[in-house]
Structure formats: structure tokens, C-alpha cells
């Protein structure tokens, strides 16, 4: 037999899903698929297996589950979901309970209830069929990560304490009792807000995590809870919506959304109609050099999925300005992953056609870190990074407003002052600059490279204590 074990990494949301099976038997399972699910079908075809089982480790908060989308494209496959913890679903699926076993040729997969991140959370032990009680690996879902663990605070304050206690016992009474050699295969890598400071490696072992993972060092529930809650990054606003969508059952799209290409005149007429949201997905320098008035800049890198979730209303249609028309499919995939499926159209030939039509453009200046350092005493400097990043050091004299809070806190800033915005690399500050431009700030600059460039240039740093 030949084990089929494939890891599918989804950049941006830092999600990891898995194809596990046996090519002698020709069957396999997918765990935690993303909604743009063609990748699993293609991978199964390449490895000579049929996908018969689709497993969810838990109800996800960070992305739209792809289980129903994948199920709709397969014959004979079924969705398997945890029924521990009293959860109810709004779609058909097969119940999974603690201890259930599933065989795929020589591979046996055993479900283990591991609550804490969510009440229903299920992890899956991987073993050879002749040694089913001696696992060599665990699909840990969002319960245990490399150098971190799943946060217990995503269901609201009334559930947090109970989930933190469950997470404490899951880590101590399940994971720490596993042999050192057992490998862990988590549902997320570095960059996901589902855990604090998740490590850069995609896999690890129980033994390594036992020695180095801070979440596994506590034997006191109170101290563990304080650390788990105190180290967690801000909760993205779209997480609650994703939970509801995935519990009810996401809409089956049958592919990526379709949207019309609009020439400049029609695109101009569509702006502001029916609550349309104008989103420019070009990167910061192109956007700053010239854009349509009122556009929100969310650059078309993989983290667009997360920042669309933070910044946009899924009920309102989106008008897109692209760097190139050929980028459309790639950009749509990023939107779909966090539930954006309503589009009013895209501007054919991008800003080239807008410019050719003679329509007005707006600009946002780009300021180097060296110029910022020279001029900062005369500027209103706004740091839009997360709270944890701010505490580790910032530009002296800067004001901190996390970018998702900017629109509601814009009154704290002086529109008449020259304003410069920075973040970690310039991506988020370009989002923030586009918001401030919408809010009437005229003398406005973004900082390409931002904090990374500031540190590389060895410019002065102010700490959280003001020193």
C-alpha cells in the first residue's frame, strides 16, 4: 500500500487542509476543505483516489467551509461533522462521535473529542490498521498549533471561561499524554488570527511541542486562562458571521461568482448605485499614484481574504478595479474564502480605460521612512497595526488606531493636519489611507515598507512605556 497524505496550504488565511487515503484501495478523505475546492478534486485525480469522506474538525470562524461545495461536485461522498458538545447543523451530514473509526485501506483514522477552541471540536488520530491504537500522527484542527493553541474566546464572553477550561484539559489530558514521536498536523499556520503567534513550520511533534509550546507549560487553570486570553490577537469582526454561515451550511456556488466586465462609462455610472462597494485591489504604489474617488484599497495579495472580511459588507455588491483583467479569477478566489459572492462588475482594462475616458483621479502620496523621520514633528503620524505590534515599539510620537477601528475613531484625528499612516509593511496602511481619503483628509501619505523599513533603517523607536 502507498499512503496518500497531502497538505493543501491556503495562503492569506493561513489555512491547512489535508487529503488522506490509500491508493491501493483508491479511496481518500479530505479534512477541512476551503470553498474554492477544485484543488482537492485535481489532487485526488493525480494520486489515483476517489474522495469518499469529507471531514470537518469543527465549525470554522475564519473561512467559509468548502465541505458542501466539494460534496456537490462529487458522487457518493458524504460530509462528516462532530456531534459532540450539543451542536446542531442546518445541512445534511453524517454524525461523528468520540472514538469513531474510519478505515482507508491500511490507514485507520480515529475521532477524538478535543473541545476548547469550540465545544464540538474533533481531532483525528492517524495510525496503521495493524496498530490502530498506536497513532503516528494527529490532525489537530484548531486545538493545537505549532508553538500555539486554539483560542477559546470566539463564541463570546459567556462561553469563554468554560471553553478555556476545556482547552486546558484537552492540552493536558489528551495531547500531553501522547508519545513524543507522534506528529501533529494543524489546521493553521503562521498568520492566522485563530491562535496567538502560531509558528512558521507547518508540522511538529508532540515531543517538540511538549518542550517548547508555551500553552503546554501550564498546570494551573487560572494562569493558563490569563495567558490564553492575554496573548490572543484581536478577533476579526467577520468571525461571528462565518460561524453562523458554516453552522447553517454555506451556499453552494458551483464555481466562482460570475460578474460582468464594464467599460469605463458604465462602471462610472454603477459607482454609488444599489449600495455598491468600490474596491481597488491594486497594490499600494499603483493605488497611490491614481485611483477613482471613494475607492477602498485592499491589495490583491493572499491576505485580501482577511482584510475584506474586516472591512466590507457581504450584503453589498462589490465593484472591482484590477491590476490586470487576467487577475480576476485569482482575486475572486480570495473574496470567496471569506464569504464575498456578490459583485456588480469589474472595470474592463482597469485604470487605463478610466484614464483614457478622461475621468478624474485622486492620489495618495507615498513617503519614505527617512522623510517621515525628518518631518515627524510636523506630521500627524498614525500607526494602524494591531495592539500587540504597537506595544513592541512604534514611531516616536505616533498615535495608535488599529485599522478596523479607524472609521469609527476618525474624529480623534485632525483633518486639517498633514497626516502620514504606517503599518507593518504598508499593506494595511494603504487600506487606512484610502479610508482617510474617503473621510476628507487631503494632505495624506502612506509609508511603503512601513515598520519593516523603519527598523531596517535603524531609526528611533519608542516603546509602550514612552521610552
> Known catalytic residues?
423
How far is residue 78's CA from residue 68's CA, in Å, rounded to a whole number?
A: 9
57: phi then psi, degrees, rounded to nearest 5: -70, -30
| CA–CA distance, 2 with 22 (Å, rounded to integer) | 6
DSSP 53: E
Joined together, the cell numbers standing for residue 44 give 485526488
CA 5 to chain centre: 23
What are residue 321's DSSP bridge partners?
280
Residue 253 sits at the vertex; the CA angle it makes with 281 and 29, to the nearest 5 degrees, is 105
Cell of 235: 478577533
For the purposes of burial, counting CB atoms within 10 Å of the CB of 294, is it exposed (0-12), middle (13-18) or buried (19 or more)? middle
Note the residue count of the chain. Answer: 467
**Cα-Cα-Cα-Cα dihedral sign, residues 10, 54, 41, 252:** negative
Of 327, 342, 346, 361, which Cα lies nearest the Cα of 279?
Answer: 346
d(CA 127, CA 340): 38
Query: 64 and 339 in contact (C-beta within 8 Å)?
Result: yes
Question: Is 34 within 8 Å of 66 (Cβ atoms)?
Answer: yes
The span from the CA of 92 to the CA of 453, in Å, is 51
Amino acid at each position: 500500500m502507498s499512503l496518500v497524505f497531502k497538505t493543501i496550504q491556503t495562503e492569506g488565511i493561513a489555512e491547512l487542509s489535508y487529503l488522506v487515503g490509500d491508493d491501493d484501495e483508491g479511496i481518500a478523505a479530505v479534512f477541512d476543505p476551503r470553498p474554492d475546492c477544485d484543488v482537492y478534486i485535481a489532487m485526488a485525480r493525480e494520486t489515483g483516489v476517489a474522495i469518499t469522506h469529507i471531514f470537518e474538525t469543527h465549525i470554522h470562524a475564519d473561512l467559509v467551509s468548502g465541505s458542501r461545495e466539494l460534496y456537490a461536485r462529487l458522487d457518493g461522498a458524504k460530509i462528516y461533522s462532530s456531534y459532540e458538545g450539543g451542536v446542531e447543523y442546518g445541512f445534511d451530514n453524517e454524525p461523528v462521535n468520540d472514538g469513531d473509526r474510519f478505515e482507508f485501506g491500511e490507514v485507520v483514522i480515529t475521532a477524538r473529542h478535543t473541545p476548547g477552541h469550540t465545544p464540538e471540536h474533533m481531532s483525528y488520530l492517524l495510525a496503521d490498521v495493524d496498530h490502530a491504537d498506536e497513532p503516528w500522527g494527529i490532525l489537530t484542527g484548531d486545538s493545537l498549533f505549532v508553538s500555539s493553541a486554539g483560542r477559546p474566546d470566539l463564541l463570546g464572553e459567556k462561553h469563554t471561561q468554560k471553553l478555556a477550561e476545556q482547552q486546558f484539559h484537552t492540552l493536558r489530558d489528551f495531547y500531553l499524554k501522547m508519545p513524543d514521536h507522534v506528529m501533529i498536523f494543524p489546521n493553521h499556520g503562521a498568520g492566522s488570527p485563530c491562535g496567538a503567534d502560531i509558528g512558521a513550520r507547518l508540522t511538529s511533534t508532540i515531543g517538540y511541542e511538549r518542550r517548547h509550546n508555551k500553552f503546554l507549560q501550564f498546570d494551573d487553570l487560572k494562569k493558563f486562562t490569563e495567558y490564553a486570553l492575554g496573548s490572543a490577537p484581536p478577533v476579526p469582526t467577520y468571525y461571528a458571521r462565518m460561524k453562523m454561515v458554516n453552522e447553517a451550511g454555506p451556499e453552494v456556488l458551483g464555481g466562482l461568482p460570475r460578474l460582468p466586465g464594464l467599460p469605463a462609462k458604465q462602471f462610472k455610472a454603477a459607482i454609488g448605485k444599489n449600495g455598491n462597494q468600490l474596491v481597488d485591489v491594486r497594490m499600494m504604489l499603483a493605488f497611490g499614484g491614481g485611483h477613482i474617488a471613494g475607492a477602498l484599497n485592499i491589495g490583491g495579495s493572499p491576505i485580501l481574504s482577511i482584510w475584506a472580511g474586516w472591512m466590507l459588507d457581504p450584503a453589498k455588491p462589490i465593484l472591482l478595479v484590477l491590476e490586470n483583467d487576467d487577475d480576476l479569477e485569482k482575486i475572486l478566489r480570495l473574496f470567496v474564502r471569506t464569504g464575498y459572492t456578490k459583485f456588480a462588475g469589474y472595470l474592463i482594462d482597469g485604470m487605463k480605460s478610466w484614464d483614457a475616458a478622461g475621468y478624474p483621479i485622486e492620489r495618495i502620496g507615498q513617503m519614505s521612512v527617512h522623510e517621515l523621520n525628518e518631518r515627524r514633528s510636523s506630521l500627524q503620524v498614525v500607526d494602524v497595526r494591531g495592539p500587540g505590534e504597537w506595544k513592541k515599539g512604534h514611531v516616536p510620537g505616533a498615535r495608535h488606531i488599529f485599522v478596523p477601528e479607524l472609521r469609527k475613531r476618525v474624529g480623534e484625528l485632525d483633518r486639517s493636519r498633514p497626516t502620514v499612516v504606517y503599518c507593518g509593511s504598508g499593506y494595511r496602511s494603504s487600506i487606512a489611507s484610502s479610508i482617510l481619503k474617503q473621510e476628507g483628509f487631503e494632505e495624506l501619505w502612506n509609508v511603503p515598507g512601513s515598520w519593516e523599513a523603519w527598523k531596517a533603517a535603524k531609526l528611533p523607536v519608542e516603546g509602550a512605556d514612552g521610552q
